[in-house]
Structure 1
Amino acid sequence: MPYSYSQPSTSEASWNSGEANADANWGVPEKCFCGKPVKLEVCKTGYRQGDRVYKCPMLKAEEYESRNHLIQWWDQAVTEELEKVNHKLDSALRHGQLACNHALESIRETIHLMQGEIETLKERLLAKEVEIDRLRALLSTW
């Protein structure tokens, strides 16, 4: 029997728990366990009257407990969806930071190599200037 959001639980699932991964409706649901698209409705009875609920269209109008069809309160669905988005953002930031660190390390290495080449070129230029001065002195004696 599929897990239903209306069933009580002894522990809360999180976005990355096995329960949430097995249940593809973690967050804002799109489809019921039966495959039908869920609808966002307003609860008309009970202690949550006026609250919005994602509900399978196969359920009777006032039925809010089912073991075969999905029922999830809007506030819970949005909270779960925000948890997923937050995790994805954190993951992207970590990945981006790693990519930036790698790019910066590559740039530092390139700068270090270029500094070495500049020092070599300066030494060669100094040697050429010494040679030019020697040749000028030699030409002036003719």
Structure 2
Amino acid sequence: MPISYSESSSEAPEEDLGWAYADADWGIREKCFCGRLMKIETASGLASGNGGRKYYKCPVWVKEGRGEHICKWWDEGVTEEIGILQGKVADQKERLATLDRQVAFDPRIRELRDEVALLKDEIVMLLDEIAMMKEENAMMKEEIAKAGDGALTLCVLAVFAAISYLFK
């Protein structure tokens, strides 16, 4: 369909997109195809047997047959959403089972797991060594600080002795 100024832009689309709308309407949607947020309402039609039943719909939807906006029973949407989640859980279970089989049959993974355990033990030992070195460093600083007073006195005496020897 060419775009021009002489043709009306309000023509109906040439392609039927019902299949795309049906796919996109699966489960519970937060927004309609038009971008508006969905509203949850309660049916009031007692004659139809749906009185009190909840549904969600686009605020613009008005009993249309074109499928451009969403209107759906809430319980059907929840049932579909549960089905979607069950599929995702089944996929995750299968992935975990596959990983378990790989771990069980792949010796490299067992070797890596053992190596990781050894490295963890080595890290713990190194952290203990670092803590001991910090303690030793603190003790040496204290000893140097105490000995520093005597060394200064000794240096002053040595300088005094050298000066007195020179001026004898």
- Whether the TM-score (by the shorter chain) exceeds 0.5 is yes
Query: After superposition, where does 1:31-70 map in structure 2 within 5 Å?
Result: 31-45=31-45, 46-59=48-61, 63-67=62-66, 68-70=68-70
Return the alpha-carbon distance in structure 1 between the equivalents of residues 49 and 73 of structure 2: 13
Q: CA deviation at 1:71?
A: 0.6
* Structure 2 runs not aligned, ≥5 long: 1-15, 112-168
Alpha-carbon distance, 1:47 to partner: 2.8
| 1:116 aligned residue | none
CA shift, 1:108, in A, is 8.7
**Does structure 2 conserve the Cα–Cα contact (< 8 Å) formed by 1:65 and 1:71?**
no
**CA distance 1:66–1:33, shift in 2 (3 Å):** farther
Give the Cα separation in 1 of the matches to 2:75 and 2:34: 23
- Residues 42, 2 of structure 1: CA spacing in aligned structure 2 closer, same or farther, 3 A cutoff? farther
Report the aligned-residue RMSD. 2.8
Q: Which protein has the larger Cα radius of gyration, Structure 1 or Structure 2? A: 2
More helix by share: 2
With a CA cutoff of 8 Å and minimum separation of 6, indicate the structure with the bigger relative contact order. Answer: 1
SS of 1:72's equivalent in the other structure is strand
Aligned length: 94
Q: TM-score, normalised by structure 1?
A: 0.55
* Partner-residue secondary structure (3-state), 2:31: coil
Identity of aligned residues (%): 33
- Counterpart in the other structure of 1:96: 96
TM-score normalised by structure 2 residue count:
0.47
Q: Which moved more, 1:32-41 or 1:74-83?
A: 32-41
Any stretches of 5+ residues in structure 1 without a counterpart?
4-18, 112-142
**Distance in structure 2 (CA, Å) of the matches to 1:85 and 1:73:** 19
Question: For the residues of structure 2 that align with 1:42 and 1:92, how far apart are their CA atoms?
Answer: 36
